[in-house]
Structure 1
Amino acid sequence: MNIAVAFLIIYFLVMILIGIWAMKKSSNDSEDFLLAGRSLGPAVTALRLQSSSMSGYMFAGAGSLGYSSGYFGMWYALGDLGGGVLNLSIIGRRMRKLTKILGSISSIEYLENRYQSSAVRMVASILALGGLFLYLMSQFIAGGAGLASVTGISFDIALVIAVAVIVSYTFLGGYLAVAYTDFVQAIIMLIGMVWILIATLQAVGGLTAGHQQIEAINPNLLTMFGADLEYQNQWGLIIGALLIFSIGYMGWPHVVVSHMAMKKPSVSRMAGVYSTAFNLLFIPAPYLVGLLALIVVPNLAAPEQAIFEVAKTVLPSFAVGIVMAAVMAAIMSTADALLLQASTIASRDLVGRFFLKEVSEKTLVKVSRITVLVMALGGLTMALLQPPSVLFLATFAATVLGAAFAPAYICAVWWRKANKVGALASMLVGSSVSVVWKLGDLGAATGLDPMLIGIVCSTLAMIVGSLLTQKSHPVSAHILDAIDSAASVTNTRSTRDVKEDIDLSTQMPEGR
């Protein structure tokens, strides 16, 4: 196990070195620190988007679902397979153009500028901070548990080490460090997950032999309807599972900010190709390993440890280190994105917008760095108390964020009539309904998943709220012009690339 620990130490050091490199490359300009100067190409954009959305859930939650519910977990995987290309195709190019035109630096500031309402920014900031903080805790807990499992040190010490590494490079290099560490971590995740899947299949004698052994344990696990067939004909719950990582994550502020950091709008096209290729190789694997873990490590007391325990069983020591680096990569790539986005919202969208309005760009970057530390300490403190499972926290936060923000981000670029009343109604209704549904366990009683009911109610609130208030709260002419400009598509690639290289921020007044 010393070899595994050595690999992890080397991996942690590399991440910190990337943070130091990014700090030297970045200036004290907010656009540099928070969006890497809008300089990222398709490969970094795609893998950053995918790694920051997958998280420790893929190694803890997905493995747990496979272990306890069999192929039912594949409904989540099916939605996730197309999530990246949907995100980039539906809002990627248009959001990149519109945020540049409106001078938006953060994904929440963008909502204020598009819907022309400080109330939208205030409500969005509070909702986003709550959801991101819960998601951040789930990553800290997963990181501590994984590190403790491999190294043998206590959970508390492992948690502190994992958080310290994440905070160090996020604090130093801002979005540039997050983007490039996420890119590297996505590659490590892919290598590690494919390796453990191949080793697991060899250990059980191949997929067919594995299926035969699972059938002897419980044939229902080979269906997509749960260990007791409890999801059979429960299409309201199944559709929710498909939506959460496909449509839902178009509402995650720490993910959609990837669109804003692209070098130019056309980057989204090739990024969609990279994203799909990565997803096809990576996403089904943890669910399948979790299922086969029933054979390799039966009678696990904690199903969320399934992939960790399988790795230690089927791999040699040096490979365990690489796989654990992959696990930590999945966790850290989401945690750093959450941490940076939460600190951005706290510093720029709340403090800088409503409390310290006359501040320099240099001061805003300092406030962002301070809030990285504050958010990390708060998340660390809560994680040490060991709240609910990683699976519950991750799916709860993902559901609330998706229901609250997906219609607001989609309608911002696709619907000219979407106004501030519709946006406020959508965010408040979507978040409230999904929270009540999730905490009240109404999914089991109604057959409707919290994600499904949340996104439907949020969308209806956007439509009804906007249509009823077109006269009292019309969308201004300059916002309509900006939407039209963001939607424009030229006929030739050369013309398009020339137009995209123009500084679009000169077309519109800059928002705060």
Structure 2
Amino acid sequence: MIGIIFLVVFLALMTGIGIWGMKKTKTLGDFFLGGRSLGPWVSAVAYGTSYFSAVIFIGFAGTQGWQFGLNALWIALGNAVIGAGAAWLVLARRTRRITQNLDAMTMPEYLQERYGAKHLKPVAASIIFFFLLPYSASVFKGLGHLFEKVFGIPYDLALLIMIAFTGIYLILGGYFAIAITDFIQGIIMFAGAAIMILVLSGQGGGYFEMIRKVAENYAIHVPPANQPSTLTVISLVFMTSFGTWGLPQMTQKFYAIKNEAVIPKAAIVTTVFALMIGFAAYSTGVFAHVFFDLTTVPRTAAGGINYDLIVPTLLTAHLPELLLALIMLLVLSASMSTLSSLVLVSSSSVAIDMNPNRVNVKTGKDNSVAMMRLLSGVFIIISYFISRFQISIIVYLMSLSWGAVSGSFAAPYILSLYSKKVTKAGAYAGLLTGLGVEIALFFILGASRSPLTASIAIVVPFIVVPVVSLFTAPPDKALLDKAFQGV
């Protein structure tokens, strides 16, 4: 009952923010970028909340915590230092300035304008549409199962509730509403994560005593032959940390900042936030080696370990009801912020990047905001059906999504910020190479090697892009002067 009360208050607050945000959303720039007016705290927390979703708290933390033991904590450190702090310091200033110089609002639009490649935008937009939409559906799926377990709400009804309220504040208020709700959700996440780890650590004699016990029990629970290799650990840290540098829903946060003066403070805030959330999530997964043994760890019907149930079962058994309700809001907040960012970027791939008739030729009115609202609603509904009916091809797209999107965009995007020598042909080659390598290796090596597959797909284009650029026509000087003005 406490959890349901918290849930009702939380959803009512999100709806109110959506209505308030609607009053501030007049233009496409307002809807998609919040009018480029967001300060350091809101921008930093929006980045952090988009980084972490229900996936990390439910399946990922339980899986990596049990299989990797204490090595899972390297993921948390990499996410905070590389994926959060370094991303702001390396990418934010140049991204903000060059996208403003080129009047670009989306990743596909930026790449097209930056390289002077008129067909690059629809290609990039198609990749975003086909791979980020299934990813958003996977977040919906995780939330549905969580609500079913904790609140006793049927899976189908839980999905409908999440769709309705995410749709309300996203469709009404756009990115401004997302950023403000992300800030509130971030406060809930930070507080909930801190209290959760304090309570769990206290039950085992303190954090460092828990770590000692994990080290003892891990070798018993996971024999050395079954423990992941160093290469697997490194590739997972790399994929989840550096891989975010190429994800459009993350880099969009840099477009929207008020000015470059907010960047140093935002970098610190994001790093601290990511350290707390990452270490709390993975530490909880790692603590499973203290709270469970081989006879009590959750199992599937076939007898294997049910990794998705490790963290929910642990929290349900060891947290008081009031704190458990707060943790459920933590997971809900993480998921709704990630989901809204994914839907916003996915809908922009059609409304902005694939819509040649944004301005009505008769009235001169820009229809993009209405189109964005409509498509956001449509995409949320599509996400529901993907979550509800697990079509096999969609399941494959979910597994491919991170490597496919980051592999496609990381090299063309990051190199475009620092090099004037990258050519249009080099950008095309990098985009298609990253996508092709991810798809090919995924089916050759199998889904179990997806971190390694994604890491290779991200790295290879950084070699391909410069090599192709050496042998193709140089970029237009006037275009470069415009892009790098003031950089």
Does TM, normalized by the shorter one, top 0.5?
yes
Could you tell me which residue of structure 2 aligns to residue 308 of structure 1? 312
Q: 1:3 to 1:443 in 2, by over 3 A?
A: closer
Q: Which residue of 2 aligns with 1:85?
A: 85
* Conservation of the 8 A alpha-carbon contact between 1:422 and 1:461: yes
The CA deviation string for residues 456-500 of structure 1, in whole angstroms up to 9 with x for no partner, is: 221122112222113xxx21122221343252xxxxxxxxxxxxx
What residue in structure 2 maps to residue 455 of structure 1?
458
TM-score, normalization: structure 2? 0.91
Q: Which residue of 1 is the match for residue 49 of structure 2?
A: 51
Query: Aligned runs of 1:12-51 on 2, under 5 Å?
Result: 12-27=11-26, 29-51=27-49
Question: % of aligned pairs identical?
Answer: 28
> In structure 1, what residue type is equivalent to 2:40?
P
1:345 to 333, 345, 349: 349
Give the corresponding residue for 1:66. Answer: 65
Aligned to 1:123: 123
CA offset at residue 166 of structure 1? 0.9
Aligned to 2:414: 410
Q: Could you tell me which residue of structure 2 aligns to residue 494 of structure 1?
A: none
Is contact 1:311–1:320 with CA below 8 Å preserved after alignment? yes
Aligned to 1:468: 471
> Aligned partners of 1:387, 1:194: CA distance in 2, in Å?
38
Distance 1:180 1:291 in 2: 32
1:328 and 2:332 matched? yes
Classify 1:387/1:304 alpha carbon distance in 2 versus 1 (closer, same or farther; 3 Å): farther
Aligned to 1:419: 423
Indicate if the aligned counterparts of 1:221 and 1:227 stay in contact, CA closer than 8 A: no
SS at match of 2:228: coil
Counterpart residue type for residue 3 of structure 1: I
From the superposition, tell whether residues 208 and 127 of structure 1 become closer, same or farther in structure 2 (CA, over 3 Å): same
Partner secondary structure for residue 418 of structure 1: coil
* Pair 413,186 (structure 1): closer, same or farther in 2 beyond 3 Å: same
2:425 equivalent to 1:430: no
Give 1:136 shift. Answer: 0.3
Give 3-state SS (helix, strand or coil) of 1:49's partner: helix
Q: Distance in 2 between matches of 1:208 and 1:75?
A: 16
- Give deviations 1:321-348, integer Å, cap 9, x for gaps: 1110000001011000001111111111
Which amino acid in the other structure matches residue 71 of structure 1? L
The 8 Å contact of residues 188 and 330 in structure 2, kept in 1 or not, is answered as: yes
Deviations 1:153-182 (A, max 9, x none): 211111111121111110110010111111
Distance in 1, Cα, partners of 2:406 & 2:415 = 14
Report how far residue 386 of structure 1 moved.
4.1
- Match of 1:485, SS? coil
| Superposition CA RMSD, Å | 2.5
Q: Residue 417 of structure 2 aligns to which amino acid in structure 1?
A: V
Q: Does 1:231 align with 2:234?
A: no
Determine helix, strand or coil for the equivalent of 1:245. helix
Give CA-to-partner distance per residue, 1:353-379, whole Å, 9 cap, x none.
Answer: 3x6665656411111111111111111
Shift of 1:208: 4.6
- Preserved CA contact (<8 Å) 1:123 1:424: no
List alignment gaps of at least 5 residues for structure 1.
488-512
Distance of 1:392 and 1:214 partners within structure 2: 34
C-alpha separation in 2, matches of 1:387 and 1:70: 33
Label 1:90 to 1:209 Cα distance change in 2 as closer, same or farther (>3 A): closer
Counterpart of 1:502 in structure 2 is none
1:189-228 Cα distance to aligned partner (Å, 9 max, x none): 1111222111111223333543454455432779xxx864
Deviations along 1:397-430, whole A, 9 cap, x unmatched? 2222111111111111101011221111111110
Question: What letter is aligned with 2:287?
Answer: L
Q: Match for 1:451: what amino acid?
A: A
Whether contact under 8 Å (1:45, 1:258) holds in the other structure is: yes
- Rounded to whole Å, the distance in 2 between the matches of 1:227 and 1:167 is 47
CA contact (8 A) 1:434 1:450 kept: yes
8 A Cα contact 1:42 1:270, kept in partner: yes
Report if the CA contact (8 A) 2:61-2:311 is conserved: no
Secondary structure of the structure 2 residue equivalent to 1:438: helix
1:275 matched to 2:273: no
Match of 2:260 among 259, 265, 268: 265
Q: Comparing 456-465 with 40-49, which one deviates more in the overlay?
A: 456-465
Residue 171 of structure 2: aligned partner? 171
Does the CA contact (< 8 Å) of 1:200 and 1:310 recur in 2? no
Distance 2:242 2:371 in 1: 33
Where does residue 95 of structure 1 map in the other structure? 95
> What secondary structure does 2:12 align onto?
helix
The secondary structure found in structure 2 opposite 1:283 is: helix
Amino acid at match of 2:471: L
Confirm or deny: 8 A CA contact 2:14 2:169 kept in the other structure: yes
Q: Is the 8 A contact 2:61 2:284 kept in 1?
A: no
CA contact (8 A) 1:68 1:227 kept: no
Q: Which residue of 2 aligns with 1:490?
A: none
Determine the C-alpha separation between the residues in 1 that align with 2:482 and 2:204. Answer: 57
Q: Are 1:289 and 2:284 matched, yes or no? A: yes
Structure 1 stretch displaced more, 435-444 or 409-418:
435-444
Taking the aligned partners of 1:441 and 1:187, their CA distance within structure 2 comes to 40
Map of 1:504 onto structure 2:
none
**Distance change in 2, residues 1:357/1:467 (3 Å):** farther
- Once the two structures are TM-superposed, the CA of residue 130 in structure 1 deviates from its matched residue by 1.7
| One-letter amino acid of the counterpart of residue 8, structure 2 | I
Match of 1:100, as an amino acid?
Q
Letter in 2 for 1:450: T
Distance 1:170 1:179 in 2: 10
User: Once the 2 structures are TM-superposed, how far is the Cα of residue 249 of structure 1 from its aligned partner?
Assistant: 0.8
User: Equivalent residue of 1:204, what SS?
Assistant: coil
Aligned AA for 2:454?
M
Q: 1:486 to 1:94 in 2, by over 3 A?
A: farther
Over 3 Å counting, the alpha-carbon distance change for 1:137 and 1:345 in structure 2 is same
- Cα deviations by residue, 1:424-465 (Å, 9 ceiling, x for unpaired): 1111110111122223325878x9811221122211221122
Do the aligned residues in 2 keep the contact of 1:108 with 1:349 (CA within 8 Å)? yes
> 3-state SS of the aligned residue for 2:421?
coil
